A and B are shown apart, each in its own frame.
Chain A
Amino acid sequence: MTKTAERRPVAHPPVPPPPTPAPAGRRRRRLADQARAYGFLLGGLLCFALFSWYPAIRAVVISFQKYTPGSPPEWAGTANFTRVLDDPEFADAWRNTLVFTLLALLIGFAIPFVLALVLNELRHAKAFFRVVVYLPVMIPPVVSALLWKWFYDPGAGLANEALRVVHLPTSHWTNGTGTALVSLVLVATWANMGGTVLVYLAALQSIPGELYEAAELDGASLLQRVRHVTVPQTRFVILMLMLLQIIATMQVFTEPFVITGGGPENSTVTVLYLIYKYAFLYNDFGGACALSVMLLVLLGAFSALYLRLTRTEGDT
């Protein structure tokens, strides 16, 4: 900064107001400006074109094609969609994904909120709590998945051991068709909760204290204060996080792939897992793209809603 301040007087005198250049010169100058602007933009633009825009268009195109890498694609009409819809795994995958998302909302939503509420009241060891709750987020997802796979082990697994310590019946966890999906939701919640808690904490700290004081003067009990002050004041953040979480959990892949491999009996196959299977196990890229398009439309709607909500909030 000091450098520019020093140099300024030297540079000042020789800058006369530029005489209005001839139209041709101005146009050339504008072209040069544009060339420079696009020079800076080019690398990023190319990457977006190649790896975001083009694949999005291609997903739609290939979903209507018979596509095998190496040979020219043929039009297939809606054959990919009907084939995918007829696959018995299709219904399983969507049901599992929706149940997973719903359970993740129930478990992975109430717990962080209550946790943040309690943490916000604690006056000691604040930094410790924040670091510890966020620690699992920094552990690579593959490691947390493998770690919990070991915990769920029916033999020497920690999960059943913990149940035995408190004299509860043991569970099949990821080996039972009824419990596998819930077990995976627990892993995802454990691994991702930290971020949600921290965002809630930030939201709670922005609530003006006078609101609580006023409520208390009016005789509101603790629960009434939560219900009538805390929840309305954080409603926007709650809604945002809920939408973001729906978008993220609908794309769940790592946990079922690493822990259960989609089993037992397809009880943990998710939509993204099915897309992966179509592409890399069945070599059916048309089917994979048809599935991708369906997922894209649904999640795109959620994303649009999210962006609209954030924008309207930003305007007010």
Chain B
Amino acid sequence: MTPGTRTLISPAALARPRGKALYWTVFTAVVVLFALAFLFPVYWMVTGALKSPDEVARTPPTLLPEHWHPGGYTDAWELMELPRHLGNTLVQAAGAWAFQLVFCTAAAYSLSKLRPAFGKVVLGGILATLMVPAQALVVPKYLTVADLPLIHTNLLNDPLAVWLPAVANAFNLYLLKRFFDQLPRDVLEAAEIDGAGKLRVLWSVVLPMSRPVLGVVSIFALVAVWQDFLWPLMVFSDTGEQPISVALVQLSQNVQLTVLIAAMVIASIPMVALFLVFQRHIIAGIGAGSTKG
């Protein structure tokens, strides 16, 4: 927002002494409210993991750990096999991202620039899936993954069970197609006149011009897999293959509270770090694409 932009309250009203006092009161109240509502729970989690098991169960609780026990974190790392589960999540997320980038980009490019016969029908069928809430279809999707039609392969406990369904993401595909639609046709045609094939045009002309949308799609793809719970809970019954989200819930009953809390902190770090690094892009993206809630 530019400094001069007028909002609900006029700058003149804010410049008056009473307006100023009121503004700073509200400002302080909001800062305190935000700190209590959003930062304090996170603080409580990070420090809770540093307390001893006795201290964490004490009432009234201590605001600061009396003695620092980083042992909670090391125990979580080893007892709950966090490296393995974090690794599983990473493999699942990275694969889903790669599959989506390759197949969604290729399909969006074809629908946008190559005029396939029945392209409108295909696009309609893809957009129709936006109306079908994903979670309502998990059971038939699970049955499909457990026994793929025609080739009768079982993908359960295989990362492919996450990678392949991730490609069927109508929102990301549509985002890419809309972006490709806006690319100037004469630039692509110029490349073709120079003798570039379709793949070459996609790789050397379309993709370099599409960096912003590729970034948005990448973040959506990574976050979706990292945060998912119900689908991996269904398809990874094998403990060794479970991502961190499923493993946390499955193990939550069998470990000490401080160890569990430490594991929760560790599980949150990658996405929070991603957010802090790309916060400007993510926040701008949410504001711009208000269609996604």
Contacts and interface: CB of A to CB of B under 8 A. Distances in A.
Nearest to A201: B287
Contacts of A121: 7-9, 23, 26
B114 A142 contact: no
Contacts, number: 321
Given A45-B107, A210-B6, A51 B286 contact: no
Nearest to A129: B34
B293 A199 contact: yes
Interface stretch (A17-25, A83-91, A288-296): A288-296
A103 interface: no
A131 B282 CA distance: 10
B68 interface: no
Interface in A87-118: 117-118
Nearest to B287: A202
A198 interface: yes
A311 to B, nearest CB: 11
A216 interface: yes
Interface string B110-121: 110011110100
Interface in A115-132: 117-125, 127, 129-132
A78 B108 CA distance: 41
A226 interface: yes
Given A45-B122, A52-B129, A212-B8, A143 B38 contact: no
Given A43-B103, A131-B279, A310-B291, A279 B125 contact: no
B274 A138 contact: yes
A285 B146 CA distance: 13
Given A7-B194, A54-B144, A56-B140, A143 B248 contact: yes
A214 B252 CA distance: 58
A166 interface: no
A139 B135 CA distance: 20
B173 A44 contact: yes
A196 interface: yes
A36 to B, nearest CB: 6
Given A285-B139, A296-B133, A299-B136, A50 B110 contact: no
B79 interface: no
A140 interface: yes
Query: Most chain-B Cβ atoms within 10 A of its Cβ — which of A1, A40, A257?
Result: A40
A141 B268 CA distance: 10
B133 A299 contact: yes
A156 interface: yes
A258 interface: yes
B229 A132 contact: no
A233 to B, nearest CB: 11
A62 B143 contact: yes
Nearest to B38: A132
B288 A164 contact: no
Given A141-B227, A205-B1, A285-B139, A120 B7 contact: yes
Q: Looking at chain A, what size class is its interface with the partner chain? A: 35 or more
Interface string B4-41: 01111110001000000001001100110011011101
A237 B290 contact: yes
B80 interface: no
A230 interface: yes
B8 A120 contact: yes
Contact of A199 (B119, B131, B287): B287
Contacts of A76: none
Given A51-B165, A212-B7, A299-B133, A44 B104 contact: yes
Nearest to B265: A143
A79 interface: no
Query: Most chain-A Cβ atoms within 10 A of its Cβ — which of B131, B191, B195?
Result: B131
Contacts of B264: 143, 146-147
A293 to B, nearest CB: 9
B42 to A, nearest CB: 7
B132 A296 contact: yes
A143 B194 contact: no
A161 B62 CA distance: 11
A40 B198 contact: yes
A254 B230 contact: yes
A172 interface: no
Interface stretch (B52-60, B70-78, B210-218): B52-60
**A-B pairs with the 3 shortest C-beta distances?**
A209-B6, A44-B107, A202-B287
9 contacts: A4-B187, A37-B117, A54-B144, A132-B38, A134-B282, A158-B44, A216-B10, A245-B293, A247-B133
Given A40-B198, A47-B168, 12 more contacts: A44-B106, A48-B125, A50-B144, A56-B137, A59-B136, A118-B26, A132-B38, A133-B34, A202-B286, A209-B6, A276-B234, A303-B130
